[in-house]
Structures are given as C-alpha cells and as structure tokens.
A and B are shown apart, each in its own frame.
Chain A
Amino acid sequence: MPSGPSDDHWQTCYRQLAPKLLLFARQWLPSTADAEDVVQAAFVKFWRHRPDAEPEHYPLLYSAVRSTALDFLRGQDRRTRRENDRDRGLLRADEPYFDRTIERQESSALVEDALRRLPEAQREVLVLRLWSDLTFAQIAETLGESINTIASRYRYGIEALRKHLKPHEYERV
C-alpha cells in the first residue's frame, strides 16, 4: 500500500501551479466552478498515484487536467442534450481568466477576448507556454504532438493574438 503524499509536497505544488492549472482547465470549461472540480479531480488523482512526485513530473498534471476536462465535457454534452436552452445558458458563465487589477483591467479583458477567439489548438499552446512556463518539449509531451507542430501553433497563435489586439491600439497589456 503506497503511503500518501506529504503535505509539503502537494501543497508546494499546489501553491505553484493551482492558478495555472485552473486557467488551463478553463480553455474547455468557461465556468470557474466546473474548472475547479476538474483541477481537484486531476490533482488528487495525480498525487495519489505519485505521492513522491518531483517538480520534473509536474507537467503530467496538465495532461491529467486536460483528459479530466475532456471527460467532464463528454458527460456535460450528454446532460445538456437533456436540458433546455434556459438551463444551458447557466453553464456559459463568462468569468475572467486573469486578475483584473485596476491598471490592467481593460487590457486583461482585451487579451481574454482575443484568446477566446483563437482556435482551441493554438489557445492551449499559448496558455501552456505563456502562463504555465512549459517548454515546447513539455507541451509536445502533454498534448501528444511533435515539437515542430507545437512551435508553429505557438507562432500562429501569437500572430493571431496580435492581429486581434491591433484594432484596440494595444500597446501595453
């Protein structure tokens, strides 16, 4: 019977990664509450299987969050087919991705809007690279793609983001 993870281990990891994992989960789940459920399930599953996990294993958490979010979506699809349009609207809560400090309130909203317009494949690469600090190699491993594919998705994603933000005379985020 494997021993459970020590408090120090998982809490250090949680403090370091929780906001990033939450942002990553929200690429599929607009509702923060649903995204937190997914992060909780993936985080607990990861630490139960790897109670001695070290920081070099942390990128696996993103894979766990991704697969849990996709499983959640499949279940949600089945449910929403049984629900009427009024109830379905409640699942589309539009909550912010980033901290909206006063000086960055407007720019945060612009970036969020531009991110939501990107294709999912580009958006998840940008999120992992810019706000989770993963390397292209780690992102490739997480998403099961080649490094070249990831690098080109990132490049196209950045270009698209600039294009979306340009009409707003975006100079300082």
Chain B
Amino acid sequence: MNESDFESELRALRPVPPTPGLARRIAADLEPHSIALTEPRALRPRTAGVLVAPQSASTLLFDWLRRLGWAAAGAATAVAALVYFQKDTPQPMPAAPAIAAVELEVGEFIPAESESELVAADETGVVYLEGDEPVRQMRFHSVERYAWTNPETGARVEVAVPREDVLLMPVAMQ
C-alpha cells in the first residue's frame, strides 16, 4: 500500500459524533431566550465508556459564579438602598482614630539583590478580546526575588513573588 492509499484509508475513519445534548446546549447558549432547553450535564447520556466521568468542575464553578453574581447584585442593591435612605440623617462626626505610633526598625536594611527568573513560557493559542479581532496569547511565568541585608547584624530578608505576564499579539488571518 503506497502512502496515498494509506492516507485515504485513514481518512475513511469517521470521528465519533458528539452526543445530541451538545447541540442543544450550544443552542441554549447562543439563544438566551431558549435557556429552558439547557440540558443539565448530570442527566446527559454517557457514551460507551464503562466509567462514569465526574461532573466537570468548570461547570460547577460556572453555576456557582452565576449564583454568586445574583447574590452580589442583591447585596449591592441592599447597600445602595441603605445609603440612599440614610444620607439625609445627620450623622455625628466620628472621632479621629488614634493612630498608634509604630516605628519599624527597617531603616538599617538595604537592598542587596533583585532578580527575575523566567520559569515557563506557554503559547495558549488564539483568543478573542471583547469586540476585537483575534489575538495570539502568550503567558510568561516567572519568579521575582528580592533580598535586603542589615550590614550591622548580618540579618537578611528574602522575598520571592510569583508573577504571570500575559502578552497579546494581533493575528492577521488570511
């Protein structure tokens, strides 16, 4: 069998189609008014696998955030109402808080070194900004280390801070 025949035979294999629920869930997402058609994932029929896959944490997180959003909106409304109804009531001026005179003896420490170490760089593909053209996204993970020393006592303070930079580059698609 030559290479072309081999490729043709491979192409003849048909990828497994998605479950019918996927189209319904996409329709529900793209058409907000038909949200009632959304099929809970827990009720979705599973494929031939024997093991039952656990419910995706991303789905759970989405549901939780949605509920949290409503709770936050309710709380914000309550606070706004409270402020509105109290704004005409004369309020006693609060006494100025006593500020404790805390003096930290940090003057003796002087910066000794600082460095930034690039740990990983990932290209996460094309993403879309709100209302914009697609952009290619790069993530750079690094650790920044700072050190201070006290020349008199020899004490040394070190701090390591993880840092993630996201770089977005415009993509020109033909």
- Residues of chain A contacted by B103 (CB below 8 angstroms): none
Interface flag for B93 (CB, 8 Å)? no
Q: Are B123's CB and A14's CB within 8 A? A: no
Q: Are B56's CB and A37's CB within 8 A? A: yes
Binary interface encoding of chain A residues 86-108 relative to chain B, with 1 for a CB under 8 A from any of its CBs, else 0: 01011101111111000010011
- Residues of chain B contacted by A87 (CB below 8 angstroms): 54
Q: Are A39's CB and B18's CB within 8 A? A: yes
Cβ contacts A to B, 24 pairs, < 8 Å: A5-B30, A10-B26, A10-B30, A22-B15, A22-B16, A32-B18, A32-B49, A33-B56, A36-B22, A39-B18, A39-B22, A40-B25, A63-B134, A64-B126, A67-B137, A70-B124, A71-B124, A95-B16, A95-B49, A97-B15, A97-B16, A98-B14, A131-B15, A162-B6
The answer to whether residues A44 and B6 also contact, given A19-B14, A90-B53, A144-B136 and a CB cut-off of 8 A, is no
Q: Output the nearest chain A residue to B8 by Cβ-Cβ distance.
A: A173
- Residues of chain A contacted by B163 (CB below 8 angstroms): none
Give A12 to B13 CA distance when docked, in angstroms: 22
The answer to whether residues A19 and B46 also contact, given A37-B59, A64-B126 and a CB cut-off of 8 A, is no
Q: A-side binding surface: helix, strand, loop or mixed? A: helix
A75 CB contact (under 8 Å) in B11, B16, B57, B137: B57
Interface flag for B40 (CB, 8 Å)? no
State the Cβ distance, A7 to closest chain B Cβ, in Å: 8
Interface flag for A81 (CB, 8 Å)? no
Q: Are A40's CB and B26's CB within 8 A? A: yes
- Residues of chain A contacted by B14 (CB below 8 angstroms): 19, 98-99
The answer to whether residues A98 and B23 also contact, given A75-B57, A130-B10 and a CB cut-off of 8 A, is no
- Residues of chain A contacted by B51 (CB below 8 angstroms): 89-90, 93
Binary interface encoding of chain B residues 1-32 relative to chain A, with 1 for a CB under 8 A from any of its CBs, else 0: 10100110111111111110011011001110
State the Cβ distance, B59 to closest chain A Cβ, in Å: 7
- Residues of chain A contacted by B128 (CB below 8 angstroms): 45-46, 49, 64
- Residues of chain A contacted by B49 (CB below 8 angstroms): 31-32, 93-95
Give A129 to B58 CA distance when docked, in angstroms: 30
Give A71 to B15 CA distance when docked, in angstroms: 23
- Residues of chain A contacted by B30 (CB below 8 angstroms): 4-5, 10, 44, 47-48
Q: Are A172's CB and B17's CB within 8 A? A: no
Q: Are B125's CB and A64's CB within 8 A? A: yes
- Residues of chain B contacted by A76 (CB below 8 angstroms): 57
- Residues of chain A contacted by B26 (CB below 8 angstroms): 10, 14, 40, 43-44
- Residues of chain A contacted by B122 (CB below 8 angstroms): 70
Q: Which of B11, B54, B125, B174 has the most CB of A within 10 A?
A: B125
With A4-B30, A93-B49 given, can you name 9 additional A-B contacts, CB distance below 8 Å?
A10-B26, A32-B47, A46-B128, A60-B134, A67-B125, A71-B124, A75-B58, A95-B48, A98-B14
